[in-house]
């Protein structure tokens, strides 16, 4: 009797593992940058070519770095959330304008609003590669020391913001430099 | 007339679809060794946007950028390990078609061997069981009776 149950047991174990596999999104690749210092960069600002946004600007406070582009449809769906977040004054949001034309980016910011302290213009996508960007939008949570604590690939949703990002921000804000 | 057009349509369709992007790479090399290394690397690296394609095959924008990066590094004389490390530092092991051997991948690498050993073990035990089924005393008697019987019958013939 037990002999006959062995294949059934193996089958059930297999089902459990395959079931777990189904709940995971294979397009989400774990980033090796988590808990690492943010890669250095210095980019022209989208709105002001004479000024730069550099990685040093992100030090000293907890901040978000949002990778966006005017050609990115999904960016539009998360945009209202960032507008709200910017108005709340809870956190500094910086933009990384990824592989975009400056005019298009400016028009996009005019049209949908600008939640960013400032956006760096990464027209070649070189800085995107430094940050391991593979699907816009992407959002990084960076602590006071400039260490990347969390990365979200794809549009930020209410749920992600409430359950993951905001609690993390609170925790990071509470820790001294 | 209609039947004439359809095959032509499919022929054209597949001609375009199968058109490999690696074939028309705009990268030029003066050194054929570098070119070989470049092509070899692209086959080993996965495109993160369309995950079932290598960097050589993918037409995604990011793949194009990463090809450019690999090209730059090959030309600048970086060795394969340096190039791979550079990409893994940014995109993780996932960019490799061959995951490295480390604690989290031990099971992955040893899996096939483990399954083979289990299969061999099951096969051997099944075969053994069939060979050496022991008979009870009663069955033994019955067997020898039957054997004797057939022997007698063949003797009579």
Residue A95 inside a domain? The answer is: yes
Does the pLDDT of residue B120 top 70, yes or no? Answer: yes
Does the pLDDT of residue B83 top 90, yes or no? Answer: yes
Nearest to A29 among B65, B66, B92 (CB): B92
Name every chain B residue with its beta carbon within 8 A of the beta carbon of A124: 65
Residue A16 inside a domain? The answer is: no
For residue A105, the Cα-to-chain-centroid distance in whole angstroms is: 18
Could you give the CA distance from residue B53 to residue B66 in angstroms, rounded to a whole number?
13
pLDDT for position A124:
92
Range(s) of the domain holding residue A123: 34-174
* pTM reported for the whole predicted model: 0.76
pLDDT for position B86:
94
Nearest to B92 among A26, A30, A131 (CB): A30
Q: Which residue has the tokens 């910086």?
A: A94
Residue A5 inside a domain? The answer is: no
- Structural domains in chain A (count): 1
pLDDT for position A27:
75
DSSP for A53-109, written as a single string: EEGGGGTTS-EEEEEE-TT-HHHHHHHHHHHHHHHHTSSEEEEEEES--HHHHHHHH
Nearest to B51 among A27, A125, A131 (CB): A27
- Sign of the alpha-carbon torsion through A54, A56, A57, A58: positive
For residues A38 and A65, is the Cβ–Cβ distance under 8 A? yes
Provide the ipTM.
0.81
pLDDT for position B23:
44
Closest among A96, A153, A103, A149 to A125, alpha carbons compared: A96
Does the pLDDT of residue B51 top 70, yes or no? Answer: yes
Mean pLDDT of chain B: 83
pLDDT for position B19:
47
Q: Where are the domains of chain B?
A: 20-100, 104-156
Could you give the CA distance from residue A54 to residue A50 in angstroms, rounded to a whole number?
13
Reading the block at residue A89, the tokens are 């004054």
| Predicted confidence band of residue B140 (pLDDT cuts 50, 70, 90) | confident
pLDDT for position A14:
94
pLDDT for position B114:
95
Average pLDDT over residues B78-87: 94
| Predicted confidence band of residue B102 (pLDDT cuts 50, 70, 90) | confident
- Number of helices and strands in chain B (H, E): 6, 0
Cβ–Cβ contact B90 with A under 8 A? yes
* Each residue's pLDDT tens digit, B24-42: 557 888 889 999 999 999 9
Does the pLDDT of residue B22 top 80, yes or no? Answer: no
- Its CATH architecture, for the domain B20-100, is Orthogonal Bundle (1.10)
pLDDT for position B1:
46
Residue A29 inside a domain? The answer is: no
Cβ–Cβ contact B51 with A under 8 A? yes
Closest among A65, A47, A46 to A55, alpha carbons compared: A65
Residue A64 inside a domain? The answer is: yes
Q: What is the pLDDT along chain A (177 residues), one digit of tens a residue?
A: 677 888 899 999 999 999 998 888 877 777 899 999 999 999 999 999 999 999 999 999 999 999 999 999 999 999 999 999 999 999 999 999 999 999 999 999 999 999 999 999 999 999 999 999 998 999 999 999 999 999 999 999 999 999 999 999 999 999 887
What contacts A82, CB < 8 A, 6 or more positions away? A64, A66, A93, A115, A116, A156
pLDDT for position B11:
60
Question: Is A134's CB within 8 Å of B62's CB?
Answer: yes
CATH number at residue A79: 3.40.30.10
**C-alpha dihedral (B6, B58, B49, A15), degrees to nearest 10:** 70
Does the pLDDT of residue B15 top 60, yes or no? Answer: no
Question: Is B91's CB within 8 Å of A134's CB?
Answer: yes
């Amino acid at each position: 009797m037990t002999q006959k149950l062995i294949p059934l047991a193996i089958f059930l174990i297999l089902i459990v593992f395959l079931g777990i596999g189904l709940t995971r999104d294979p397009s989400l690749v774990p980033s090796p940058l988590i808990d690492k210092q943010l890669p250095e960069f210095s980019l022209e600002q989208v709105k002001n070519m004479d000024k730069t946004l550099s990685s040093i600007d992100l030090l000293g406070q907890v901040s978000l770095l949002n990778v966006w582009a005017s050609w990115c449809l999904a960016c539009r769906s998360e945009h209202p959330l960032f507008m709200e977040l910017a108005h709340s004054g809870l956190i500094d949001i910086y933009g990384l304008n990824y592989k975009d034309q400056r005019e298009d980016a400016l028009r996009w910011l005019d049209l949908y609003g600008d939640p960013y302290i400032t956006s760096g213009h990464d027209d070649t996508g070189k800085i995107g590669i430094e940050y391991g960007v593979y699907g816009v939008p992407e959002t990084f949570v960076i602590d006071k020391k400039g260490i990347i604590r969390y990365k979200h690939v794809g549009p930020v949703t209410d749920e992600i913001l409430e359950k993951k990002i905001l609690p993390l921000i609170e925790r990071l804000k509470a820790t001294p430099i | 007339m209609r039947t004439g057009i359809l095959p032509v349509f499919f022929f054209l369709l597949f001609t375009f679809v199968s058109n490999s992007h690696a074939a028309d790479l705009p990268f030029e090399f003066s050194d054929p060794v570098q070119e070989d290394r470049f092509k070899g690397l692209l086959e080993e690296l996965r495109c993160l946007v369309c995950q079932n394609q290598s960097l050589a095959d993918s037409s995604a924008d990011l793949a194009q950028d990463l090809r450019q990066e690999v090209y730059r590094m090959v030309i600048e004389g970086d060795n394969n390990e340096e190039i791979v490390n550079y990409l893994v530092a940014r995109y993780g092991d996932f960019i490799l078609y061959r995951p490295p051997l480390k604690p989290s991948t031990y099971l992955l690498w040893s899996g096939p061997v483990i399954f083979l050993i289990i299969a061999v073990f099951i096969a051997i035990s099944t075969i053994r069981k069939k060979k050496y089924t022991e008979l009870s005393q009663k069955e033994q008697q019955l067997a020898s009776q039957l054997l004797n019987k057939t022997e007698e019958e063949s003797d009579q013939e």
